[in-house]
């Protein structure tokens, strides 16, 4: 498959002049296929190709019938299945008008219409959102017709469903009932299902349609009436999903767990490997009842706001397969005597395979002691550690194998900030021989304006990481922090290859990170960015230029207007060729890639290409994760 790499980089629709290459593209595929020795449907190169040619969807108006008919049916089916991430149905339109709709593909020509109808997978990933504005009386018949059409055209293909109903509770009949009835007829095809509806509506349907969920692998239920998780749930629907032999991933948000067991949803806990639980008000006893019945748990995410407790003394909890814990406890309990959920959880947990630990929220001395005890009991090898405050850095003495270290708190002004004070006890220097990435994203409140920079300085004064290659500082750091980080890098004698600094002091960072090959540009005003871009521009000599080894630039903000865009493209153009000076040619690298983030306008790529028409610069887009994969509700 000698021509596959060149084929994967083809972008025939970048400019209007390139539209002539569309009829040639099918012929190029035919030239690649004979060089392969495996079936088309199993060819990894073709699958990768299909994932990179979403341009076919946006170019439907320019493709002729002759060029489209030259594509093999199996290639078209694979392209369509990759191009249509999911069918989006919503109020008030019966289906979306975006380029990802199978209806748009089907309207290109009669041949494509036939292929779309014969490709059930493009109809099998459906996202339905009912979100009326409350002012207009809506007719759901068109939406219901599109819903049934997708279910029927998907035939026997496994279903991925995301169903969200945000209609007013005062309606005489919830719109959910209109769509749940036909959906229940296909329960045996459910593979991934995400429900964001009221449990008062959902659970009776699930209970009244006894079925075997033979294909169900991933289940997410988010109770829409999230305040205190209140609902009139039916008695005790034990065994609701017991006939789901493949179910291994469960996500439960805002389920009633005050005076109601989490197990009331009828999950076969013993086979669950990945569990997400988010509650507003929780009883720790309920969580314990679930976890003690999940011996095969691998990933556990838990977020709680308010805590209630049935018993303060619980037996030890050992999860021998647990590898990842993401724990967030926003508030303490309402009662002063209630212990925080974070300390209670880690005081009883033993997880010998734990390799990734992320803690967010309230963390003080008791939480620190509990986490230390958990790590000591578990004797685990933690590779990734995320902490909400620098003061928990004493845990690093228990994580010698750590590769990724993140300090980041996600609390807003309405939440209680974590404790942020280092004790006065002297601490020994910690060398982390495997540490390759550090992310410093803590934001400090006004009360901590002195302690924050001091904590950063003390932390980096203790660390040594000779293998560090990625550094991210995503807040405005102080002079004392800048000096501490510089001393840390010099002491470690590491070679930082990737740098992301959201600080006006980025130029200072670049002065002591000469080996940077990948740089994320910060989103600042032109008064800050213009001098920075000028310092990155190769002039007649590279002696005064920053980042001589730069190969990749990442951009995630709009820079496509005004003089700043000209300065940016001038910098790119200068970086695409090595300076003529012989000494500079030995020291400098040529820029090869520009990555555009989600915040960059879609026209940015074509604008840059017009400025650099003949230059070999690869322009890519940041990888996006499907909303269903992220359980984004």
pLDDT in tens, 504-513: 889 899 999 9
Three-state secondary structure readout of 294-322: CCCCCEEEEEEEEEECCCCCCCCEECCCC
Higher pLDDT, 419 or 16: 419
Give the whole-angstrom CA distance, residue 505 versus residue 509: 7
Higher pLDDT, 633 or 104: 104
With 70 as the cut, is the pLDDT of residue 375 above it?
yes
Give the whole-angstrom CA distance, residue 220 versus residue 301: 13
Least confident of 58-67, 78-87, 444-453: 58-67
The per-residue pLDDT for range 578-608, each reduced to its tens digit, is 766 655 666 788 899 999 988 888 888 888 8
pTM given for the model: 0.80
Integer angstrom CA distances of residue 39 from 5, 34, 42, 586: 19, 11, 5, 46
Query: Which pLDDT score is estimated for 183?
Result: 93
Other Cβ atoms less than 10 A from the Cβ of 548: the count is 17
Least confident of 404-418, 427-441, 616-630: 404-418
What sign for the dihedral angle of Cα 441, 447, 449, 453?
negative
DSSP string, 595-623: EE-TTS-TTHHHHHHHHSTTS--EEEE--
User: Is residue 583 within 8 Å of 559, Cβ to Cβ?
Assistant: no
User: Is residue 151 within 8 Å of 187, Cβ to Cβ?
Assistant: no
Query: Which pLDDT score is estimated for 329?
Result: 82
Give the whole-angstrom CA distance, residue 79 versus residue 46: 9
Burial track 580-594 (b if 16+ CB lie within 10 A, e otherwise) = eeeebeeebeebeeb
User: Is residue 515 within 8 Å of 549, Cβ to Cβ?
Assistant: yes
Percent of the chain with pLDDT over 90: 31
33-42, 52-61, 67-76, 186-195: which is most confident: 186-195
Residue 229 pairs in a beta bridge with none
| Tokens of residue 286, six digits | 């309920």
With 70 as the cut, is the pLDDT of residue 112 above it?
yes
Q: Which of 479, 469, 477, 532 is nearest to 499 (CA)?
A: 469
Peptide bond into 229 cis (omega under 30): no
Higher pLDDT, 553 or 539: 553
- Using the structure block, give the residue that is written with the tokens 């820079």: 559
Q: End-to-end CA distance of the chain, in Å?
A: 42
Query: Which pLDDT score is estimated for 420?
Result: 44
Query: Which pLDDT score is estimated for 97?
Result: 43
- Using the structure block, give the residue that is written with the tokens 């060398």: 431
Give the whole-angstrom CA distance, residue 157 versus residue 115: 16
Q: Which of 542, 503, 495 is nearest to 520 (CA)?
A: 503
Diameter over CA atoms, the chain? 81
pLDDT-based confidence at residue 18 (cuts at 50, 70, 90): very low
Query: Which pLDDT score is estimated for 260?
Result: 46
Other Cβ atoms less than 10 A from the Cβ of 619: the count is 17
| Tokens of residue 29, six digits | 């595929």
Mean of all residue pLDDT scores within the chain = 76
Mean pLDDT of 245-267: 73
| Tokens of residue 416, six digits | 């209680």
The per-residue pLDDT for range 173-192, each reduced to its tens digit, is 667 888 999 999 999 999 99
Query: Which pLDDT score is estimated for 52?
Result: 45
- Per-domain residue ranges for the chain? 1-83, 519-633
CA dihedral 512, 514, 516, 519 (to 10 degrees): 60
């Amino acid at each position: 498959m000698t021509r596959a790499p060149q084929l994967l980089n083809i972008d025939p629709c970048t400019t209007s002049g390139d539209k002539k290459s569309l009829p040639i593209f099918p012929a190029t595929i035919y030239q690649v296929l004979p060089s392969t020795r495996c079936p088309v449907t199993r060819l990894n190169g073709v699958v990768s190709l299909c994932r990179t040619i979403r341009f076919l969807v946006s170019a439907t108006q320019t493709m002729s019938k002759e060029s489209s008919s030259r594509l093999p049916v199996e290639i078209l089916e694979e392209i369509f299945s990759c191009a249509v991430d999911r069918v989006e149905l919503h109020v008030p339109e019966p289906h979306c008008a975006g380029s990802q709709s199978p209806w748009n593909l089907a309207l290109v020509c009669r041949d494509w219409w036939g292929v779309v109808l014969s490709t059930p997978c493009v109809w099998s990933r459906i996202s339905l959102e009912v979100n009326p504005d409350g002012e207009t009386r809506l007719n759901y018949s068109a939406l219901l017709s599109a819903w049934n059409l997708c279910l029927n055209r998907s035939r026997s293909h496994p279903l991925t469903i995301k169903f969200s109903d945000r209609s007013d509770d005062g309606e005489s009949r919830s719109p959910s009932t209109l769509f749940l009835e036909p959906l229940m007829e296909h329960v045996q095809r459910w593979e991934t299902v995400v429900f964001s509806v009221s449990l008062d509506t959902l659970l009776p349907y699930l209970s009244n349609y006894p079925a075997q969920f033979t294909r169900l692998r991933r289940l997410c239920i988010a109770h829409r009436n999230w305040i205190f998780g209140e609902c009139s749930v039916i008695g005790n629907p034990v065994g609701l999903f017991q006939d789901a032999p493949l179910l291994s991933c469960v996500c439960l948000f805002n389920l009633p767990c005050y005076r109601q067991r989490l197990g009331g949803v009828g999950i076969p806990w013993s086979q669950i490997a990945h569990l997400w639980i988010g509650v507003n008000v929780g009883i720790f006893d309920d969580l314990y009842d679930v976890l003690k019945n999940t011996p095969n748990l691998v990933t556990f995410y838990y977020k709680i706001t308010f805590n209630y407790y049935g018993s303060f003394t619980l037996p030890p909890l050992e999860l021998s397969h647990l590898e990842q814990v993401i724990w967030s406890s926003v508030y303490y309990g309402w009662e002063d005597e209630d212990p925080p959920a974070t300390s209670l959880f880690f005081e009883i947990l033993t997880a010998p395979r734990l390799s990734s630990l992320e803690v967010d929220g309230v963390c003080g001395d008791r939480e620190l002691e509990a986490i230390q005890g958990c790590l000591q009991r578990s004797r685990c090898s933690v590779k990734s550690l995320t902490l909400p405050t620098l003061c928990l850095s004493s845990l690093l003495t228990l994580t010698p194998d750590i590769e990724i270290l993140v300090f980041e708190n996600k609390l807003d002004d309405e939440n209680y900030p974590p404790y942020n004070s280092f004790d006065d006890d002297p601490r020994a220097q910690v060398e982390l021989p495997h540490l390759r990435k550090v992310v410093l994203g803590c934001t400090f409140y006004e009360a901590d304006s002195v302690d924050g920079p001091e904590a950063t300085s003390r932390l980096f004064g203790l660390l040594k990481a000779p293998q560090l290659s990625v550094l991210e500082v995503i807040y405005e750091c102080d002079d004392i922090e800048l000096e501490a980080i510089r001393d840390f890098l010099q002491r470690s004698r590491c070679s930082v290859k990737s740098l992301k600094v959201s600080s006006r002091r980025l130029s200072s960072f670049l002065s002591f990170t000469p080996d940077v090959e990948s740089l994320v540009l910060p989103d600042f005003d032109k008064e800050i960015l213009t001098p920075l871009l000028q310092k990155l521009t190769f002039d007649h000599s590279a002696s005064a230029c920053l980042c001589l080894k730069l190969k990749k630039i990442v951009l995630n903000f709009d820079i496509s207007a005004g003089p700043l865009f000209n300065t940016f493209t001038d910098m790119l153009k200068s970086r695409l060729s090595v300076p003529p000076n012989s000494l500079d040619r030995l020291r400098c690298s040529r820029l090869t890639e520009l990555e555009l983030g989600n915040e960059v306008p879609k026209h940015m790529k074509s604008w840059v290409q017009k400025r650099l028409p003949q230059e070999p610069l690869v322009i890519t887009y940041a990888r996006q994760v499907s909303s269903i994969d992220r359980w984004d509700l």
